[in-house]
Chains A and B, each alone.
Chain A
């Protein structure tokens, strides 16, 4: 999917109001134990250098102006949503104080004209996801590994047309 990217994936870590759980797992994934730099993944300090934003958190209203500022500066073609909060709002999905994950944020950014069309979004669910899950997600997006497990079971996929008939 990201094969079109002709360089190494440089990521910028953006906390969008998360609890720090996912941030710690991202740091664990960046440790020499797993060494993501052999995949070309490097953490950069400025949103302007980044190809991808790694966002953690349900996008609280408090941090929304800064998040929009960072997206305006970087305008990355890839967004990596790490954790249940960033993916779909998590346990805060119906709270009045949050925007609720990457999908509403995307809508807001499209409305504001930060993006002309939808960027690629990689979702890594988990609360928090293991460092392995984050690495696997990035490797999957880069096309380095194949998918090993799916949410839907094989039988469920086969039976689905039959169930829809009921």
Chain B
């Protein structure tokens, strides 16, 4: 039946050529295009950078600022980052027309203010991440300490009075 329809269309002389580059065509349902990170929602926890198979999303520290970098060149559009994001800050769009002649056109970044350790004043995580942890767990004694100081203080608290 479908073959007959194809034959009929061929006899009718209908043009099947898509006028694509000059007219926009939307992607089909369920298509995974460019994942966009909402800068206001993102807390800089780095969950997306851990799951990203091609390390297209990276969290790097630059001059005391935590920067989430999206290197779209390498992105394979698997949308796993959108699945693991605790804030649902990553939205998978249907954008696919991403061709670029300049490398800089394919890079996006989000900067986060970093929190300082209260003991050694080392910068260790974004302030928004600590706010989120505080929101979930309430006030924690070791929350504003860097991992090294936290370990030191915890061991000191454990061994107190046992010497």
Contact = CB atoms under 8 A, between A and B. Distances in A.
Interface of A: 1, 32-35, 39, 84, 87-91, 93-94, 101, 103, 120-127, 129-130, 132-133, 135-141, 144-145, 147-153, 155-156, 159, 163-164, 166
Contact of B98 (A120, A124, A139): A124
Contact of A123 (B20, B73, B77): B73
B1 to A, nearest CB: 22
B74 interface: yes
Interface of B: 16-18, 20-22, 24-25, 27, 34, 36, 39, 53-55, 65, 70-78, 95-101, 103, 105-108, 110-111, 113
B98 A90 contact: no
Contacts of B99: 122-125, 133, 136-138, 140-141
A88 B106 CA distance: 11
Given A132-B25, A145-B22, 9 more contacts: A33-B17, A34-B18, A87-B106, A101-B73, A124-B98, A132-B97, A138-B21, A140-B101, A151-B105
A1 B101 contact: yes
A140 B99 CA distance: 8
B100 A152 contact: no
Contact of A139 (B21, B76, B106): B21
8 contacts: A93-B54, A122-B101, A133-B99, A136-B99, A151-B70, A151-B72, A151-B106, A166-B65
Given A139-B21, A166-B65, A88 B74 contact: yes
A127 B95 contact: no
B55 A150 contact: no
Contacts of B101: 1, 120-123, 140-141
Q: Which one of B39, B65, B97, B105 has the greatest number of beta carbons of chain A within 10 Å?
A: B97
Contacts of B70: 151
A145 B73 contact: no
A125 B100 CA distance: 9
